[in-house]
Amino acid sequence: MTDPREVRLEDLPGPKSREELEDMKAPYEEYCRKLFDVGNEYVKPAALDGIRWMSCTMYIFTPHSVSNLAELGAEVIKIEMPRMGDPMRHTSPFNECYYYPLHDTRPKTGTGIGVLNANVNEYYITMDYHREEAKEPFYRLVKMSDGLTECYRPGTFDRWKQSYRYLQEINPRFIYVWGGGFGYGPKAFGGSYDILGQSHAGLASITGFHEDFGGHPVKHTNWCIDWYSGTQITVAVLAALYWRRKTGLGTMIEFSQVQAATRCTGYAVPLYGRFGVVRQRWGNWDTQLCVHGIILCGKSDYPDEKNPQLRNEARYVMVSAFNDPDFKELCNIIKRPDLYEKYKTHKQRVEAEAQVEIYREIEKWAADKSRSEVVRILTDAGILAAPVKNDKEVYDSEHFRQRGSVRWLDDPMMGDVLCHSSFSCGLLSETPRRKFWDFRPVGADNIKVYHELLGYPMSTIKKWYEENLI
Amino acid sequence: MCDIIWCKKCNTVNYLDPYCFWNWEGKINCAECGEVYYIHMIQGHMYRGPEPRPGEKPDIMPLYADKPLEGYKNYLPGTEGRTRPYNCTPRHIYLGHADYRKFSIRNRPMRAWAPQPAAGGVAGAYGFYWDIKKLSPEVWEEYQEKIKKGEVRDW
């Protein structure tokens, strides 16, 4: 008689042998589509559900660090200046693209499109928290929150008695983030901007082409160091939350944006330390690999477009053919097999002088071709090549659409909004990121927070509103 | 700027932007008096010129010019007959003032025009949902028309 406690493999559901297991496995593609189920993120649990965060932030850098938490499920209360809101609301490309309303007192003013993606899924309240009357609701929020992120100049919150050393006393589990320009030290009172981070950290000096090629130190068109540093803060917050689970104690995170940007410079600083060599800009080429860069083709893919960004600039192709067989094939395609004979080893062709010659010859070959022709010819030959896409092409990209990176959001407040940020940060099978709304008007959730969460009577809220406290 | 042409005839500084003139040979006009100068630039350095070529036709106009000794008088990009337009700002798209829109590129309503109805709540508090049918009935009507015509797309 068999032991009833014994579980026999053949009685269990599922495969009975390795062969059967292989047979029953869904193809990887199908498995991933089912697992990540793009478009149905909203029915899955949220990883940070139960975390409440206060956001005393402005612009992109610190707001984005909190937005990351909100997209992962935290309840975030964004605190803005009464009537004004985050200054980022008042920036928009060429002063044109706004969503309305901003606030009842400013019917013709809108929220600029520059604010998009930086304060997702948050509740918006107003509070002039440096006033004495605001201390009570502020501290009460601190007591029932897990953390706070602020971006004022170092010591400002300390002067207003709401820095880590004060808040720690009323909530020892509190995680406090200061994010700003330089942090404590010789430039404690320096403010910060993305461009300052890119310049001060040495990143701009190695971005763009060398002056010998008509180039200058270049800042990225977008505020990439704001987005990058914000994400770095989120990493620190998640570590602090884990530390708190183990110890029950909060943390203060002091995050200098200009410091963070040095991480993007790769080996530049160690290179100086070893040789005293100051790294130079190498533009669209690469100092470690050749061919591995972006080339210019002669003809546009959109010769009749009105927009010069499409008409003149849809001409760049990324090409990678650095190993010997690929480089040989590339030289044959551009009808310069002698180049391969000249630079047979990678060591030879990665030299600066060799790169100047090789890229010049590739561009000469591409001078009478359009971008798509160049991509097609190189791809057909088995060489990695891709067009340098613009935003229109990103929107049209089937790759992004299938993976849900770019999608339309029916924002409950602002209507049809094309979004990408939340869903382009990687897929999580169990607790995916999600976006419910992008932003709300200034003070839109005053009643929800002051009345429903903190329990203040409506008469008090009206009084505060009339006194410009909220 | 990689260099300038300081026109001694009219005391105007014509700026040579590196994007166009870094490696360039040809004739350029003074934005103020129209005097034509020949220049040859190599890697951002003035190899030859500026040499006056009176009476000849210019190949290109400067992007920007000003008269630094006479206060703030200047010629912005795109001043007709004097400076060339800054080609990267497509003026048919970018207007320089708030551009009200009611529909996105796939013809679904978006709240991008002012004024909007006030919150109606206490302390500027707004409801969660934009009831377009109730708050902006004329846009709702227009939207229904677009649906009927099949103009509303998924992408």
> Which chain B residue lies closest to A107 (C-alpha atoms)?
B115
Whether residues B14 and B64 fall in one domain: yes
State ipTM.
Answer: 0.83
Whether residues B52 and B106 fall in one domain: no
Non-local (6+) Cβ contacts of B68 within 8 A are B13
Distance from CA of B66 to the nearest CA of A (A): 24
> Which chain A residue lies closest to B93 (C-alpha atoms)?
A307
Non-local (6+) Cβ contacts of A42 within 8 A are A434, A436
In a domain, B91, yes or no: no
Supply A438's token pair: 């992008």
Instruction: Give the span between the Cα atoms of A171 and A64, in whole angstroms.
Output: 24
The beta-carbon neighbor of B108 closest among A107, A401, A416 is A416
Distance from CA of B31 to the nearest CA of A (A): 24
Backbone angles phi, psi at B32, to 5 degrees: -85, -60
Contacts of B43 in chain A (CB under 8 A): 211-212, 214
Strands B36-42 and B45-52: antiparallel
Whether residues B30 and B71 fall in one domain: yes
Instruction: For residue B140, give its domain range.
Output: 101-154
For A:214-233, CB contacts with B below 8 A are 214, 216
For A:88-107, CB contacts with B below 8 A are 93-101, 103-105, 107
**Residue at a domain's end among B27, B59, B75:** B75
Q: Number of structural domains, chain B?
A: 2
Hunting for tokens 């183990």 — which residue is that?
Answer: A246
Element (H, E) at B75: strand B74-75
Tens of pLDDT along chain A (470 residues) come to 667 788 776 777 778 888 888 887 778 888 899 999 998 999 999 999 999 999 999 999 999 999 999 999 999 999 999 999 999 999 888 778 899 999 988 888 899 999 999 999 999 999 998 899 999 999 999 999 999 999 998 889 999 999 999 999 999 999 999 999 888 888 767 778 888 889 888 999 999 988 777 778 889 988 999 999 999 999 999 999 999 999 999 999 999 998 888 998 989 999 999 999 999 899 999 999 999 999 999 998 998 888 777 888 889 999 999 999 999 999 999 999 999 999 999 999 999 999 999 999 999 999 999 999 999 999 999 999 999 998 899 999 999 999 999 999 999 999 999 988 888 888 999 999 999 999 999 999 999 999 999 999 999 999 999 999 99
Instruction: Give the span between the Cα atoms of A206 and A268, in whole angstroms.
Output: 9
The interaxial angle of helices A371-380 and A324-333, nearest 10 deg, is 130
State the amino acid at position B114 in one-letter form.
A
In a domain, B30, yes or no: yes
pTM, entire model: 0.83
A462 touches chain B (CB under 8 A): yes
Whether residues B13 and B67 fall in one domain: yes
Element (H, E) at B132: helix B132-135
In a domain, B82, yes or no: no
In a domain, B87, yes or no: no
Q: Residue A129 CB: number of other CB atoms within 10 A?
A: 20
The beta-carbon neighbor of A461 closest among B92, B111, B123 is B123
Q: Which of B102, B103, B116 to mutate to test the interface with A (most CBs of A within 10 A)?
A: B116
Instruction: Give the span between the Cα atoms of A49 and A199, in whole angstroms.
Output: 38
Q: Answer whether A465 sits within 8 Å of B123, measured CB to CB.
A: yes
Whether residues B69 and B113 fall in one domain: no
**Residue at a domain's end among B59, B75, B91:** B75
In a domain, B95, yes or no: no
Helices (H), A152-256: 156-159, 164-170, 194-200, 224-247
Are the C-beta atoms of A91 and A112 separated by less than 8 Å? yes
Are the C-beta atoms of A377 and A333 separated by less than 8 Å? yes
Whether residues B64 and B113 fall in one domain: no
CA torsion through residues A123, A129, A133, A139, sign? positive
Contacts of B18 in chain A (CB under 8 A): 214, 216
Whether residues B59 and B108 fall in one domain: no
**Residue at a domain's end among B75, B92, B126:** B75
Non-local (6+) Cβ contacts of A96 within 8 A are B94, B95, B96, B97, B98, B99
Whether residues B61 and B116 fall in one domain: no
In a domain, B31, yes or no: yes
Instruction: Render pLDDT for B87-100 as a digit per residue (tens, 0 to 9).
Output: 665 556 666 778 89
Instruction: Give the span between the Cα atoms of A67 and A231, in whole angstroms.
Output: 9
A413 touches chain B (CB under 8 A): yes
Distance from CA of A465 to the nearest CA of B (A): 5
In a domain, B115, yes or no: yes
In a domain, B12, yes or no: yes
DSSP, collapsed to helix, strand or coil, labels residue A145 as coil
